[in-house]
Amino acid sequence: MKLRRIVYTSKACKDFNKRDLLDLLHDSRAYNTLDNISGVLVHKDGYFLQIIEGELNKMTELLERLVKDSRHTDFKILNDSIVKNRLFSNWSMGCADFNDPSISMIPGILHGFENPNLSNELINQLPEIADYLHTHLTHQQVNGTQV
Ligand SMILES: Cc1cc2nc3c(=O)[nH]c(=O)nc-3n(C[C@H](O)[C@H](O)[C@H](O)COP(=O)(O)O)c2cc1C
């Protein structure tokens, strides 16, 4: 099946505290579970980087909602591709918050609660994924340079 994967960055319009971010994750995970969208959200110093992937029509709908969302601005798509496989198939929305690492330890697991090994594996992988994203994408973007 054809899937669309989008990587974008945006800038928070207000200070996102832990509660704001948890609210956002709570809602996003509920919608994404319904729409079979997976991905990861990175937050650092008022900037977001999000990877979202899913079926084409669901991704179009999510994009429309995201660009209208007044909680963030400077919405920039870094990469938009049609892919065959998901990178984050088990996450309705994983999160890496560089300002509050405790939030990064709450994975939005989509499937696999029945398998504790899978959950542990995902939790253990979060820092590596966060590190990878930090090195390869967020650093340049947070400093204002186009990737
Ligand atoms: C940084 C950021 C990431 C978001 N990620 C998602 C997401 O992955 N899935 C989702 O359904 N909504 C996400 N949202 C929320 C949507 O913009 C929107 O508020 C939500 O889907 C509900 O849509 P509605 O307000 O039109 O009812 C995100 C919002 C922000 C600011």
Q: Rounded to an integer, what distance in angstroms lies between the CA atom of residue 62 and that of residue 74? A: 17
84 lines ligand 1 (CB under 6 A): no
Q: Residue 110: its pLDDT value, please?
A: 54
pLDDT tens over the chain, length 147 residues: 899 999 888 999 988 888 998 899 999 999 999 999 998 888 877 888 888 999 999 999 999 999 999 999 999 998 899 999 888 877 778 776 767 766 665 556 554 445 556 555 555 665 666 565 555 554 444 444 433
Nearest CA to ligand 1 atom 29: 66
Q: Rounded to an integer, what distance in angstroms lies between the CA atom of residue 56 and that of residue 6? A: 11
CA of 65 to the centre of ligand 1 (A): 6
- For residue 137, give the nearest of 61, 40, 58 by alpha carbon: 40
Q: Residue 20: its pLDDT value, please?
A: 92
CA of 41 to the centre of ligand 1 (A): 11
> CB of 140 within 8 A of CB of 146?
yes
Query: Cα 72 from chain centroid?
Result: 14
Q: Residue 59: its pLDDT value, please?
A: 98
Nearest CA to ligand 1 atom 27: 65
Q: Residue 142: its pLDDT value, please?
A: 40
Q: Residue 118: its pLDDT value, please?
A: 53
3-state secondary structure 42-92: EEECCEEEEEEEECHHHHHHHHHHHHHCCCEEEEEEEEEEEECCCCCCCEC
Domain boundaries, the chain: 3-137
Q: Under CATH, which architecture does the 3-137 domain have?
A: 2-Layer Sandwich (3.30)
